[in-house]
Amino acid sequence: MRFQQSNLTHLNPIVSRRSRLAAATRAQTSAQPKASRRDDLEITDLRMFPLVEPVSRRRYTVLKVQTKSGIVGYGETVVVHPEDLELAKQLVLGRAATAYEVLRQGLAAFPSLQAAVNMALLDILGQFSRAPIYQFLGGPTRNKARVLMPLSGDSDGALVASLRGAQATGIRAFVVPTPASTAPNHGQSFVSVVRERLEALRTAGGEEVDFVLDAAGTLSPGDAASLAAALERFHLLWFDEPCRLTSLTALRKIASETVTPLGLGRHIYRSGDFQDLLREDAIDVLRPDLAMNGLTQIRKMAALAESYYVAVAPFHAGGPIGTAAALHLAASLPNFFIQQIPIPVAEADRKMRSDLVSGWEERAQEGFAPLPAGSGLGVTINEPALEKYRLADA
């Protein structure tokens, strides 16, 4: 006796699942965007928008990548020289957006540009496939990302005020700058000043907040070692850039003599440059700069760090497009720890950032930021706002 297809589907659950999958595939295919061929994703133009926030004077550059099909992708980086953009066009124009990794390697001589192009091409592919970027980067490992904000101010009082304002926006972890370095070696007086600063911030913030101490590579190895040992009881998330990376022996010694974790790497833009830090067991938290590396490069760095049980906390100090890209990256990293993002304090800066993007908001709740939900970057870029805030002389 021969069964009809409907009966076979009813009796065999495997066939039933296959039928449903086939129907879903047909529906997805019919819903594909207009661009459907490789040549439709050919890159036809690059354009940059240098921006500066009115109060903080924070600077960043938004890169727009246009394709033949009309799909537009956006990336973000630091300052880009117009001559570099023209050289990059010679390599990028006429290539397919799917060649994002080949183009990243080809633009290695222009780290900031390759980072922005990398973000923009992934944004294009996400829109084309109607999927968020983190799906291209291995799928989500989390549905929200812990975030970290740098405090601003030249005095302890200003830093306390910055902390209280940031707490109101939902931030629960903060980067604290060390006092300005005035001598090659400071001694115990400097340690006391830093301890008092952290105690004042702990009192103001309460036990629910966490801190990263940022020396920005300005301290001598001796001062860095003294601070790392003296501040163990504060249980810092990590001590960021305690001294220059050239002091590898000193960093290894600090790491071996204290339980305070060390964070390093925001001035590195080649995966191999992390090898010595990892091999020497001189690093606990990897800090690649989003604007100098882009998404796929940091994923490579993170994979390298994972084999050494090192966490990743990318550095980001730019605009809202970069923040959205950083959250997609965070979602894709198994060894992700926390993401540094800039939260503007001044109302004029907040307005500018909210004007630049819509459909998503830079915010945190109880220390975590939600992932952008849409395809590509998951945000809508308002090009009239890019034109409005674009530096007139750029």
Q: Residue 49: which CATH number?
A: 3.30.390.10
| Residue 5 in domain | no
Choosing from 71, 99, 131, the residue where a domain stops is 131
Amino acid found at 216:
A
| Residue 314 in domain | yes
The whole-angstrom separation of Cα 26 and Cα 135 is 20
- Say if strands 144-150 and 173-177 run parallel, antiparallel, or are unpaired: parallel
pLDDT of residue 38: 56
Q: Which residue has the tokens 């799906």?
A: 135
Q: Has residue 13 got a pLDDT over 90?
A: no
What is the torsional sign of CA 303, 307, 308, 309? positive
| Same domain (yes/no): 86, 154 | no
| Residue 273 in domain | yes
16 vs 44 pLDDT, higher one: 44
| Residue 239 in domain | yes
Tokens (6 digits) for 85:
């953009």
Tokens (6 digits) for 58:
């924070």
Q: State how many domains the chain has.
A: 2
The whole-angstrom separation of Cα 118 and Cα 153 is 34
| Same domain (yes/no): 125, 148 | no
pLDDT of residue 5: 39
Question: Which residues fall within 8 angstroms of residue 283, CB to CB, at 6 or more apart?
Answer: 251, 255, 262, 263, 264, 265, 274, 277, 310
Within the chain, where are the H helices? 5-11, 13-30, 82-92, 100-106, 111-129, 133-136, 156-167, 188-205, 221-230, 248-257, 275-279, 290-306, 320-332, 347-356, 383-389
Residue 122 and residue 71 in contact, taking contact as beta carbons nearer than 8 Å: no
Q: Has residue 21 got a pLDDT over 50?
A: no
201 vs 154 pLDDT, higher one: 201
Phi then psi for 98, rounded to 5 degrees? Answer: -70, -15
Q: Has residue 179 got a pLDDT over 80?
A: yes
Phi then psi for 364, rounded to 5 degrees? Answer: -140, 155
Question: Which residues fall within 8 angstroms of residue 87, CB to CB, at 6 or more apart?
Answer: 110
- Domain holding 243, by residue range, is 144-383
pLDDT of residue 33: 46
| Residue 234 in domain | yes
Q: How confident is the model at residue 23 (pLDDT cuts 50, 70, 90)?
A: low
pLDDT of residue 30: 44
**Neighbouring C-beta atoms of residue 216, cutoff 10 Å:** 13
| Residue 47 in domain | yes
The whole-angstrom separation of Cα 66 and Cα 303 is 31
Give the model confidence (pLDDT) of 199-210 as tens digits: 999 999 999 999
153 vs 368 pLDDT, higher one: 368
% of the chain at pLDDT higher than 70: 89
Q: Has residue 301 got a pLDDT over 80?
A: yes
Mean pLDDT score of the chain, rounded to an integer? 88
12 vs 326 pLDDT, higher one: 326
Amino acid found at 303:
A
pLDDT of residue 138: 84
Task: Note the pTM of the prediction, 2 decimals.
Answer: 0.87
% of the chain at pLDDT higher than 90: 73
Tokens (6 digits) for 196:
């008092």
Q: Has residue 22 got a pLDDT over 70?
A: no
Choosing from 131, 155, 178, the residue where a domain stops is 131
Q: Which residue has the tokens 């999958």?
A: 21
Choosing from 103, 131, 159, the residue where a domain stops is 131
| Same domain (yes/no): 62, 153 | no
| Residue 6 in domain | no
143 vs 187 pLDDT, higher one: 143
